[in-house]
A and B are shown apart, each in its own frame.
Chain A
Amino acid sequence: MTVTETPVRIAELSCGAEYSGIQPEIDSAVKQVNAVMVYPEVETSEIETIEEELGLKVASPDLKLMMARAKSIVTGKVHVDAVFISTCFRCAEAAIVRSEVRRYINENTRIPVISYSFTERTTAATLLTRMEALTTTARRKSLLAREKQTGITAGIDSGSTTTKCVVMKDNKIIGKGWVPTIKVLESADEAFNNAMKEAGVTRSDIQALGTTGYGRFLIGEHLKADLMQEEITVNSKGAVYLAEKQKGPATVLDIGGMDNKAISVLDGIPGMFTMGGICAGASGRFLEMTAKRLGVEITKLGALAIEGDAKNVKMNSYCIVFGIQSLVNNLAAGCTPQDVAAAACHSVAEQLFEQQLQEVDVKEPVIMVGGTALIEGLPKAVEELLKLKVIVPPNAQYIGAVGAALLSSGFISK
């Protein structure tokens, strides 16, 4: 991103942000991604009639204002590049409006939308990745439209748990590196070197490099990357590319070590997305701890879960502490490790389903990516909850690195 770029115009449709004291945090995140917040103007009469027009009756005037503002975007009365919808966490009425307004804009425009429920503890740092994805989707549509990797490029995905790297040549992966994230830079160097070694290339052969994940800026600066991009756009691109579903709608699910992403994609470009990071019980970490407790390698947990039945285990908490305790109690009560592994997968899938998939429109194909997608019990649990087939593409654990390598090939001609 350069400062000479025209700022992206993001419409803020919110209720309660100002009164929660977090508007400066929103403004700060927006400023960091070279965007400006706009508040669509509406007439009082439009607020008074919006309930009838949209068919949704609400008690709070600020929510009526939100709906009227959404209408002014849909009808083209105001021009914006992206929309940020946010309401107070735990407000039932606002949750319904947030969801319906998001759907209304998504069905009637191609403007990217993100929704978020905040508390007074929401910070700019929490919002930054989301805003970055939102502005990238709005700003770099031509880059995101890229469907084939060209030349020799590499992508590094610095995750909270592992660092992944791929080297690609002429639309094929020719080298891979996968190491635990210990020291961000050293882990990235190691993964990068491993991938180059496998590919039989050196740094000077790499024509473009892309970085993503938590350490993207640090590694990007260190290795002089051409592209430093958040994981929402990169993972969506990597997912539809590896699953060979680049055209039409798709839903990408990524259960990470620290947070989860649910992304609604159209032609490889994210439309709506959510990013959860409040509860560790809904993350890969929960499965890692379960595997440890069961005394099996994390890579074996999925196969174990496939043999078990989650219904045989009574779990009374999603929490990473009490949920594990619950699993231990079930083991003590005579449940099999297979059933406990299945219950752990079901618990994570259920949280994803309850807390995130309600925020995006789930459209087939559903593509699960990230290292956790390889824990077979997890996609199976998601399939059972969604009652549809889940695709786990080859190299699902390298999704971010592949997406970064693919997108960075757009920088070769420069």
Chain B
Amino acid sequence: MKVFIYPTNSLILSDLVERFGHKPLAMMQVIGKKVRTQGLDSPPLNVTPEDPKFGLKYAAVEVPSGVRGRMALFDPLLTQAEAAVVVVDPVLSFGCQGCARTNELVNFLLRGKKIPLLRLDYPKDEEEAKLFVYKISEFLKSLKPEEVKK
């Protein structure tokens, strides 16, 4: 299955999802695609003023352009998501989303999708960390593995 991860740039979450046979939906893929696409757009992210306009799909014009620009990047991830793992209040090194308003909107939209969703707090010590990984792995195991394309 295609599993949305939050924070969407968490390498640990992305790795865990892959280990259990699913496809992680991570921000690195979207940004990577933007950067690799040849064009005259803006390096390094190649976000152009057209992206915040596309973000109007998710938020009205009075919502800051930075939120709408980010939502334009989230769009393919949200559209494809079949399941999601959301970590609440992680430390910066675990993965970080720059804008709190975007994060609120993304989490709200995920809930509205009615997909299998695991929401758990970031662990504070080793014991909690073990339980954290266990819960994620059990959740991922419960999902139907991504079909291998023939």
Give residues in A with beta carbon < 8 Å to B.
Answer: 15-24, 44, 47-48, 58-62, 65, 87-91, 93-94, 118-121
Query: Is B98 within 8 A of A62, CB to CB?
Result: yes
Per a CB cutoff under 8 Å, which of A23, A48, A88 touches B67?
A88
Per a CB cutoff under 8 Å, which of B68, B92, B97 touches A47?
B92
Query: Is B64 within 8 A of A88, CB to CB?
Result: yes
Contacting residues, chain A, for B62 (C-beta < 8 A)? 90
Bound-state CA distance A93–B65 (Å) is 14
Query: Is B65 within 8 A of A118, CB to CB?
Result: yes
0/1 interface trace, chain B 26-65, chain A, CB 8 Å (1 if under)? 0000000000000000101101111111000000001111
Query: Is A61 within 8 A of B66, CB to CB?
Result: no
Instruction: For the A-B complex with A18-B44, A21-B69, A62-B98 known, give 9 more contacts whose Cβ atoms are closer than 8 Å.
Output: A18-B69, A19-B45, A21-B49, A21-B51, A21-B52, A22-B49, A48-B92, A59-B100, A65-B98
Query: Is A60 within 8 A of B99, CB to CB?
Result: yes
Shortest B113–chain A CB gap in Å is 23
Chain A's closest residue to B73 (CB) is A19
Contacting residues, chain B, for A18 (C-beta < 8 A)? 42, 44-45, 47, 69
- Tell whether A60 pairs with B101 under 8 Å between CB atoms, given A21-B69, A94-B64: yes
Query: Is B42 within 8 A of A16, CB to CB?
Result: no
Query: Is B100 within 8 A of A20, CB to CB?
Result: no
- Tell whether A21 pairs with B42 under 8 Å between CB atoms, given A44-B92, A90-B63, A94-B64: yes
Query: Is B47 within 8 A of A21, CB to CB?
Result: yes
Say yes or no: is B12 at the interface (Cβ < 8 Å to chain A): no
Query: Is A21 within 8 A of B100, CB to CB?
Result: no
- Tell whether A16 pairs with B69 under 8 Å between CB atoms, given A23-B42, A24-B42, A91-B101: yes
Chain B's closest residue to A16 (CB) is B66
Say yes or no: is B105 at the interface (Cβ < 8 Å to chain A): no
Say yes or no: is B88 at the interface (Cβ < 8 Å to chain A): no
Contacting residues, chain A, for B91 (C-beta < 8 A)? 48
Say yes or no: is B131 at the interface (Cβ < 8 Å to chain A): no
Query: Is A44 within 8 A of B98, CB to CB?
Result: no
Query: Is A120 within 8 A of B98, CB to CB?
Result: no
Per a CB cutoff under 8 Å, which of B50, B93, B96 touches A21?
B50
Contacting residues, chain A, for B44 (C-beta < 8 A)? 18
Interface range, B side: 20 to 34
Contacting residues, chain A, for B93 (C-beta < 8 A)? 44
Query: Is B64 within 8 A of A91, CB to CB?
Result: yes
Query: Is A16 within 8 A of B65, CB to CB?
Result: yes
Say yes or no: is B2 at the interface (Cβ < 8 Å to chain A): no
Say yes or no: is B70 at the interface (Cβ < 8 Å to chain A): yes
Per a CB cutoff under 8 Å, which of B50, B63, B70, B100 touches A19?
B70
Bound-state CA distance A358–B101 (Å) is 23
Per a CB cutoff under 8 Å, which of A19, A24, A44 touches B66?
A19
Bound-state CA distance A59–B96 (Å) is 12
Contacting residues, chain B, for A21 (C-beta < 8 A)? 42, 47-52, 65, 69
Interface centre among B44, B67, B69 (most CB of A within 10 A): B69
Contacting residues, chain B, for A62 (C-beta < 8 A)? 98-99
- Tell whether A20 pairs with B98 under 8 Å between CB atoms, given A48-B92, A91-B66, A94-B64: no
Contacting residues, chain A, for B67 (C-beta < 8 A)? 16, 88, 91
Query: Is B98 within 8 A of A60, CB to CB?
Result: yes
Shortest A320–chain B CB gap in Å is 21
Bound-state CA distance A58–B101 (Å) is 11
Jot down 14 A-B pairs with beta carbons below 8 A, ordered by A: A15-B99, A16-B67, A19-B47, A19-B66, A19-B99, A20-B47, A20-B52, A20-B66, A21-B48, A22-B65, A23-B47, A88-B65, A91-B101, A120-B68
Bound-state CA distance A47–B92 (Å) is 9
Query: Is B64 within 8 A of A89, CB to CB?
Result: yes
Contacting residues, chain A, for B52 (C-beta < 8 A)? 19-21, 119-120
Contacting residues, chain B, for A119 (C-beta < 8 A)? 52, 65
Query: Is B42 within 8 A of A19, CB to CB?
Result: no
Contacting residues, chain A, for B45 (C-beta < 8 A)? 18-19, 23
Shortest B4–chain A CB gap in Å is 19
Chain A's closest residue to B7 (CB) is A61
